[in-house]
Structures are given as structure tokens and as C-alpha cells.
Amino acid sequence: MEFLDLLALGFGAALTPENLAFCLLGALLGTLIGVLPGIGPTTTIAVLLPVTFFLPPLAGIIMLAGIYYGAQYGGSTTAILVNLPGEASTVVTAIDGYKMAQKGRAGAALAVAALGSFFAGTVATFGLAIAGPTLSGFALSFGPAEYVSLMIFGLLAATILARGPVLKAIGMILIGLLLGTVGTDLSTGASRMTFGAIELFDGIDFIVIAIGLFGFSEIIENLEKTGASGVKVAKITRLWPTREDFKRAWPAVLRGTGVGTFLGILPGGGATLASFSAYSLEKRVSKRPAEFGEGAVEGVAGPEAANNAGAQSSFIPLLTLGIPSNNMMAMMLSAFVIHGLTPGPQILQSQPQIFWGLVASMWIGNAMLLVINLPLIGLWVRLLTIPYRLLYPAILLFCCVGVYSLNNRIFDVALAAGFGLVGYLFRKAKCEPGPLLLGFVLGPLLETNLRRTLLISQGDASVFVERPISLTLLVATALLLLMMIVPNFRKNREEAFKGEEA
């Protein structure tokens, strides 16, 4: 009964006119930026983070969450119709989805993607509702030593599950950790790596780095790829799938939902890894492997279910343990911090309406997205014909306004532009910026908990192996390192991301 009471509390909070409006706004924005290539939810959330200063906490978080999982829906539209994925997680959807569109079955592919996404998102949200209280109760037994071990495990897992070479991902994590130390040391009062600049005494703002790495650099890269032009769109015929489509798609949706829910929880996981893994799984279990790449409906259903399940289940470690599992969850952590909230076990006890209101809004948001995506496909498709040279000045303006509004300083805008250039160079060198952002967010938390642990133990580092939970996490970290030595694991990891790099 307590579970039903808490759900009722969540729906009561989420169904207020204000929160419904922001849920709809987030779903619409998410679909829009998913449809328009070169923007992405990371950039959008980074730009809108300052806006949430002026919103009630739950309304702001509901809107940002809607943008994230809404983008997974919208990204499939461009992937299927023009072979141009609006989101990294929809790259594999384009392989078979675009082939279906070329054969005059774009409508069926879009419907399968939308229905599979709705089912997976609903199941993953239910998993969040079930797992949340259980994991939060377990997290109450965590002390500083356990959090240190958990963050080390999370950072290492993020490097292994990130795209690209592991050594480059580790390098990005280390850069992020170093950037997190810039500013005044709260324990000693000494300034660190400020180079005498007064503006850096309070450290580098998260939004400055996020907009630089994911906003400015995305604009540069997208202009380079597309030439700033519009695209040709495939013709949409019958929208509803056939009975044979449903027969082949639903098993793939169920498998994709399971894969996405599991991988979304893992540090470094999320929508992108889930979609690639689901596509690989469908190819292996299919009785028609030769059809993959030629318009197999399973190649659309499985990845689309997986990326939506992965997007929503990635909220589980953030909300229950207070640890972001990927760069998008690092953004969401900042949204909580902006409002003076600390996600983790305490939030379920002190402010349950925030946790359960967000969970309830995800169910509502998934229903909204189903309604938004199918009837309005024609509208979203027309937006694709707008040349990018007309879109990017507006995106650039919003990025600059978002950064400047933080402290009303031109210095922050210049710093963000510098990070944009650095981010572009990182991308050219095939260094994913996501691990850097994760290291930047977790670095100060790791340093604080490490100091606290050593103060309590009077400098005795054996405390990390004397506590059972901490020891278990360190053993898991060691096993991850050993896995990287195994040739088969390295080969499977490379294959999982081969399609995205192509």
C-alpha cells in the first residue's frame, strides 16, 4: 500500500497544470531537437539550465528530463526518413529504417519506432519506481569510503563503455578531474590553477564547460558535415504496421527493453550503448540475419526500444545513489544542485514529491510523446528542409545568452568559446567529451569524500578494504581492468561501436 500511496503522491505533484505544461514543453523540445540534427539534448539542456533558476524545482527537472527522453523519439524520425540520425542513439535505427523508407514503408517504420519507444519507456519508468526505494535504502549504509570506491568504479566503467579507445577515454576523465580542481580549495583557502584570474577563484562553472564542449563544438562540427544545407525527405505512405510487422517487432521490442534497462543503469551506459547492443543482439538471434541492413523491422524495433529504456533507466543511479552514470545525468545532477537539492537516498525521505513527481511525469511524458510523434510527423519533417545556415545563428545566440546569464560576464562567454574550440579538436582526435564532463562533475565529490574518509580513519587507507561494500566495489573495479586484457572483450567492445563510427 505504501508504494501505491507514494505513486499517488507523485501523480498528484505531476498532474498540476504547471507541471503538465512543462512536461509537454520538454517533450516537444526533446522531439524538436531530436529531429534537427546537430543540436542534441546535451546542448539544449546545457543552454536551458540557467532558465531553471526561475522555475520551481520539480517543474524545471520535469522539463529537462522530458527533453532527454523526448530526443530519443525525435531522433528516429530523421534516421528513418533521411538517413540522418538526429541523435547518436538512433544511428543504428537509420541502417534498416531508411531502407524501409526507400521501399515505401517509412510510415510503418516510424510507427514501430514510436510504439516500441512508448512501451520501453513505460517499462523502464516502472523499473525506476520499483528499484528507487530499494536502492536508496541500501545507499543509506554508504559512508565516505563507499562513495569513493563507487565513484572510482563509475569513472572506470564510463571509460570502458565510452566510444573510442579506452586510453583516450581515461585521458578525458583525468582532464575532467583536473578541471574540477580549478578554483579555491575550501579546506585550505589556497587557489589552484587560477593563473591569477579573479574570475576563476570560484572555479569553472559546469554550464560554461557543457555549452562549450557540446554547444559550440557541435555547431562547428555540424557545419563541417552538412555544409549548412537542408535535406531531401522520403515520402510517407501507410502509417500503421502490418500484422507481420507486429509479429516480428514485439519480440525485438521486449529484448531491446531488457537490454536498454540493464545498460542504462551501468556507469557509462545509456541510450547510445543500449541501441548498438540491441541491434547486435537482434542480428544474432534473428532467423533472417541476411535481411538486416536491407529493411528488417527488428532492426528498427529493438534499438528504438533499447535507447528509450536506456535513457530512462539511467536516472536510477542518479536518483538513488546521487551518482551520474553518463554526461546527460551529469547535466541533470547540476539541475538538482541549482535548486539546492541533492539526489540520492535522502531525497526520497526529505522530499519524496520530487522523486515520485519525476517518476510520474515520465509516464505522462511517454504518453504525450506517442501523441506528439505519430500525428505530427508531417510537421517535424518540414522542419528538416530548413537550411542549417539559418538555424545555427539562433543556436549560437541561445548558447551565448545562457552562458552570459550565469554571472553577467563576457569572460564566461569567451571561456565557453575556448572550450568549444577544444571540444572540436577533441572530436577530430576521436576523443569523446562525455567522460571529461563526468570527471569534472565527480572530481570535487571524489576529493571531498576521499579527504573525509582519511580524516575519519586518521590517514589509514586500509579502511577502503575493511568495509565490505567498499571492498566489493574495488574488486568490481579490478575485474573491469582485467576484462580489458581479454581479447574477446576488446573485440566485442569495438564491434559494438563500429556502426556509429561508420
Q: Is the distance from CB of 168 to CB of 490 less than 8 angstroms?
A: no
Return d(Cα 72, Cα 275) in angstroms, integer. Answer: 10
Domain span including residue 234:
2-501
Specify the DSSP element, H or E, that contains 81.
Answer: helix 57-82
In this model, does residue 424 exceed pLDDT 60? yes
- 14 against 385, higher pLDDT: 14
Return d(Cα 349, Cα 429) in angstroms, integer. Answer: 45
In terms of C-beta distances under 8 Å and separation of at least 24 residues, what long-range contacts does 450-454 make, across chains too?
450/144, 450/148, 451/187, 452/144, 453/143, 453/144, 453/145, 453/148
The CA-based angle 179-319-144, given to 5 degrees, is 60
Q: What confidence score (pLDDT) does residue 500 get?
A: 44
Share of residues in the chain with pLDDT > 90 (%): 4
The 10s digit of each residue's pLDDT in 353-375 is 888 898 899 889 888 888 777 77
Mean pLDDT of 258-265: 82
23: pLDDT confidence band, cut at 50, 70 and 90? very high
**What total of structural domains would you count in the chain?**
1
Q: Is the distance from CB of 155 to CB of 330 less than 8 angstroms?
A: no
Q: What confidence score (pLDDT) does residue 17 get?
A: 92
Residue 196, C-beta contacts closer than 8 angstroms, at least 6 positions apart: none
Nearest to 179 by CA among 200, 151, 150: 200
Return d(Cα 403, Cα 412) in angstroms, integer. Answer: 6
Question: What is the model's pTM?
Answer: 0.68
Rounded alpha-carbon distances, angstroms, from residue 254 to 69, 115, 243, 394, 480: 18, 12, 17, 40, 28
Specify the DSSP element, H or E, that contains 192.
Answer: strand 191-192
- 272 against 429, higher pLDDT: 429
Return d(Cα 466, Cα 314) in angstroms, integer. Answer: 30
Q: What confidence score (pLDDT) does residue 502 get?
A: 44
Q: What confidence score (pLDDT) does residue 499 get?
A: 47
* 232-236, 408-412, 428-432, 482-486, range with greatest mean pLDDT: 408-412
Mean pLDDT of the chain: 78
Q: What confidence score (pLDDT) does residue 22 get?
A: 92
Mean pLDDT of 277-284: 80
Q: What confidence score (pLDDT) does residue 239 get?
A: 64
The 10s digit of each residue's pLDDT in 81-100 is 766 665 666 767 877 887 88
Q: What confidence score (pLDDT) does residue 31 get?
A: 82
The 10s digit of each residue's pLDDT in 126-144 is 888 887 777 766 666 778 8
Mean pLDDT of 43-66: 83
Return d(Cα 414, Cα 401) in angstroms, integer. Answer: 12
Mean pLDDT of 279-307: 82
The 3-state secondary structure of 218-283, one letter per residue: HHHHHHHHHCCCCCCCCCCCCCCCCHHHHHHHHHHHHHHHHHHHHHHHCCCCCHHHHHHHHHHHHH
Mean pLDDT of 104-123: 84
Q: What confidence score (pLDDT) does residue 154 get?
A: 75
In this model, does residue 222 exceed pLDDT 50? yes
Other Cβ atoms less than 10 A from the Cβ of 80: the count is 32
* 56-70, 213-227, 311-325, range with greatest mean pLDDT: 56-70
Q: Is the distance from CB of 463 to CB of 148 less than 8 angstroms?
A: no
Q: What confidence score (pLDDT) does residue 87 get?
A: 63
Residue 227 main-chain phi, psi, to 5 deg: 70, 15
Mean pLDDT of 147-160: 77
The 10s digit of each residue's pLDDT in 300-344 is 888 888 888 888 888 888 887 777 777 778 778 888 888 888 787
